[in-house]
Amino acid sequence: MAQQDDVFKKIVSHAKEYGFVFQSSEIYDGLSAVYDYGQNGVELKNNIKRYWWDAMTLLNENIVGIDSAIFMHPTIWKASGHVDAFNDPLIDNRDSKKRYRADVLIEEELAKMDDKVEKEVAKARKRFGDNFDEALFRETNPRVQEIIEKRNALHERFATALNDSNLEELRQIIIDQEIVCPISGTKNWTDVRQFNLMFKTEMGSTAEGAMNVYLRPETAQGIFVNYLNVQKTGRMRLPFGIAQIGKAFRNEIVARQFIFRMREFEQMEMQFFVRPGEELNWFAKWKETRLKWHKALGLGDHKYRYHDHDKLAHYANAATDIEFEMPFGFKEVEGIHSRTNFDLSQHEKYSGKNIKYFDPELNESYVPYVIETSIGVDHMFLSVLCSSYEEQKLEGGDTRVVLHLPAPLAPVKCAVMPLVRKDGLPEKAREIVNSLKFDFSTHYEEKDSIGKRYRRQDAIGTPYCITVDHQTLEDNTVTLRERDSMEQKRVAIDDLHKLIHENVSLNALLRKLG
Ligand code: GAP
């Protein structure tokens, strides 16, 4: 675990050093849980968004996009339940004055118990060597059984307390488990209180009587309140979907793990409207479709798993997360939810407007059911960054840091480098840049030795480096170096476009999805 922590620290500093992610307002000592994307980060992020957007809107003729405003009528958040129930249970330690999420403290306790089991298993594996039967050990070892029993009992107690929103019981669990504050080391806890996560601001001048509005905590509601506009103006028939990418804001109390828990972040959400009764079939279909989208990137199929929700939100009749193995464990990247007709029915009730869909085939009107796919751009960004980072030992004792980014997502697709800064090589290299730049993000690099220039491009994940040398002037060929294999081959300048396009185009990735 300590080793994984080190790797994660290195990834965070690499992200800063190479212009991917900066702490927001850094020269003013930063703003907690808010980040800025740098020159390479924004390109990677845009490519992730483009991959998602095209997979939704190009590959599905019944999905269209919208871009709704961040500010919405405040009653929308009353109708959706966010005003009353979008809360985190908070607890303070009186000695350190630090504030924690009570549920997170208990989840960490559960994770510690899981770790204990894994340690026992690892010790036994070492002791028994090749003869080790792991499944039998887990089932029969008294120490492991004891930990698992305690863990399951705690989990059940915790889930019941959460389901009942029983704040006293959450506190009692913290006391009974003897959980201490990591800063003060004491158990001097306050009561648990609910804290609403929405940011509130005012619209209009106070003289006119300003109205309280919220920064949206999810993009989904902008889709719900527009569903009939889109259905009517786009003459859409059920089933159909509306996709949207945009910023969301949550006043997260515990800021953790770099861009994993942010106060301002970005979501890519798609609401798919279906006939009542058909929602669970569509839920299964979208679960599969979305996992395929993730796996097509080639980050490693074993790094994904589904996590079905034990506790369903009151409006959902099925929900699962797609989790990805980050350096700090499996974490949610995307949620897929069957949200029934809750949101639309609530908006019908609160707005007083009829927002039923008329189904010409059934000749009846009803409020559609909704399957939602909701993915955090920043979580996706982090999963791509973490799984691409490698400190590689090379032959001869040298090392390099390389980002094995999926080529279609890489911020820079190719870098063109004159071997020396004379003899007409820079001019020839510029000519190549000018022919490639219309289709690929292309860098021109002439400073430092060629080896250093390769390393710089490896560090930002550039799939191809093109070196122009004296032979180029004679026969119009260049050296094409591939990032992962570091293989170099001589190719004709005329073939460059085709060779690069084959691997870096989003098109090839989308074709994998069918
Ligand atoms: N409309 C449903 C919805 O918002 P959610 O599970 O709360 O569901 C969806 O959020 C996704 O948004 C998550 O899977 C995660 O990737 C991302 N997300 C949520 N809170 C976040 C935060 N504080 N920082 C970064 N990403 C976040």
Q: Which CATH architecture has domain 404-512?
A: 3-Layer(aba) Sandwich (3.40)
Mean pLDDT for 43-50 is: 98
Pocket test for ligand 1, best of 35, 37, 49, 218 (most atoms within 8 A of CB): 218
Judged against a pLDDT cut of 80, whether residue 371 lies above it is answered with: yes
Q: Which residues contact 420 (CB under 8 A, 6 or more apart)?
A: none
- Which atom of ligand 1 is nearest the CA belonging to 262? 24
SS3 23: strand
Is residue 411 a contact partner of residue 460, using CB atoms and an 8 Å limit?
A: yes
Amino acid at 455: R
Instruction: Delimit the domains of the chain by residue range.
Output: 1-86+197-393, 88-193, 404-512
Q: Which of 232, 228, 188, 193 is nearest to 97 (CA)?
A: 188
Q: Categorize the per-residue pLDDT at 256 as very low, low, confident or very high, splitting at 50, 70 and 90.
A: confident
Q: Is the CB of 334 under 6 A from ligand 1?
A: yes
Which residue, chain included where needed, has tokens 């219309």?
Answer: 438
Judged against a pLDDT cut of 90, whether residue 366 lies above it is answered with: yes
Mean pLDDT for 498-503 is: 94
In degrees, rounded to 5, the angle at the alpha carbon of residue 39 between the alpha carbons of residues 36 and 45 is 70
pLDDT in tens, 152-178: 999 999 989 988 889 999 999 999 999
Tokens of 471: 């032979």
Handedness of CA 318, 261, 328, 187 (dihedral sign): negative
Q: Which of 380, 505, 406, 417 is nearest to 463 (CA)?
A: 406
Amino acid at 385: L
Q: Is the CB of 88 under 6 A from ligand 1?
A: no
pLDDT in tens, 410-451: 999 999 999 999 999 999 999 999 999 999 999 999 999 999
Q: Is the CB of 323 under 6 A from ligand 1?
A: no
Pocket test for ligand 1, best of 198, 267, 320 (most atoms within 8 A of CB): 267
pLDDT of residue 132: 87
Q: Which residues contact 308 (CB under 8 A, 6 or more apart)?
A: 319, 320
What percent of the chain is predicted at pLDDT more than 90?
86
Judged against a pLDDT cut of 70, whether residue 17 lies above it is answered with: yes
For ligand 1, the distance from its centroid to the CA atom of residue 375, given in whole angstroms, is 7
Q: How many CA atoms lie within 13 A of 294 on its CB side?
A: 32
Q: Which of 455, 427, 163, 420 is nearest to 312 (CA)?
A: 163
Amino acid at 443: H
Helix and strand numbers (H, E) in the chain are 18, 23
Judged against a pLDDT cut of 90, whether residue 310 lies above it is answered with: no
CA dist 308 and 320 (Å) reads 4
Q: Categorize the per-residue pLDDT at 499 as very low, low, confident or very high, splitting at 50, 70 and 90.
A: very high
CA dist 410 and 255 (Å) reads 28
Q: Categorize the per-residue pLDDT at 207 as very low, low, confident or very high, splitting at 50, 70 and 90.
A: low
Q: Give DSSP secondary structure letters for 336-385.
A: EEE-TTHHHHHHHHHH----PEEETTTTEEEPPEEEEEEEEHHHHHHHHH
CA dist 247 and 182 (Å) reads 33
- How crowded is residue 219: how many other Cβ atoms within 10 Å of its Cβ? 24
pLDDT of residue 449: 93
Q: Which of 194, 101, 160, 108 is nearest to 311 (CA)?
A: 160
Q: Categorize the per-residue pLDDT at 392 as very low, low, confident or very high, splitting at 50, 70 and 90.
A: very high
Amino acid at 204: G
Mean pLDDT for 139-164 is: 92
Query: Exposed/middle/buried for 2, CB within 10 Å: 0-12, 13-18, 19+?
Result: exposed
For ligand 1, the distance from its centroid to the CA atom of residue 376, given in whole angstroms, is 5
Mean pLDDT of the chain: 94
Judged against a pLDDT cut of 70, whether residue 385 lies above it is answered with: yes
- How crowded is residue 112: how many other Cβ atoms within 10 Å of its Cβ? 13
Residue nearest (by alpha carbon) to ligand 1 atom 6: 335
Q: Which of 161, 170, 154 is nearest to 100 (CA)?
A: 170
For ligand 1, the distance from its centroid to the CA atom of residue 267, given in whole angstroms, is 7
Q: Which of 510, 465, 82, 84 is nearest to 293 (CA)?
A: 510
Q: Is the CB of 267 under 6 A from ligand 1?
A: yes
For ligand 1, the distance from its centroid to the CA atom of residue 377, given in whole angstroms, is 9
Judged against a pLDDT cut of 60, whether residue 49 lies above it is answered with: yes
Mean pLDDT for 12-23 is: 97
Q: How many CA atoms lie within 13 A of 81 on its CB side?
A: 13
Q: Is the CB of 217 under 6 A from ligand 1?
A: no
| 56 against 164, higher pLDDT | 56
How far from chain centre, in Å, is Cα 107?
Answer: 21
Is 3.30.930.10 the CATH number for 1-86+197-393? yes
In degrees, rounded to 5, the angle at the alpha carbon of residue 69 between the alpha carbons of residues 68 and 71 is 140
Q: Is the CB of 264 under 6 A from ligand 1?
A: no
Q: Which residues contact 473 (CB under 8 A, 6 or more apart)?
A: 423, 424, 425, 428
Which helix H or strand E contains 22, and what residues bound it?
A: strand 21-23
pLDDT of residue 165: 84
Which residue, chain included where needed, has tokens 């006043």?
Answer: 251
pLDDT of residue 128: 87
Q: Is the CB of 222 under 6 A from ligand 1?
A: no
pLDDT of residue 208: 67
Pocket test for ligand 1, best of 332, 339, 375 (most atoms within 8 A of CB): 332
Judged against a pLDDT cut of 60, whether residue 1 lies above it is answered with: no
Q: Which class is 88-193 in CATH?
A: alpha beta
SS3 186: coil
Is residue 454 a contact partner of residue 462, using CB atoms and an 8 Å limit?
A: no
For ligand 1, the distance from its centroid to the CA atom of residue 268, given in whole angstroms, is 9
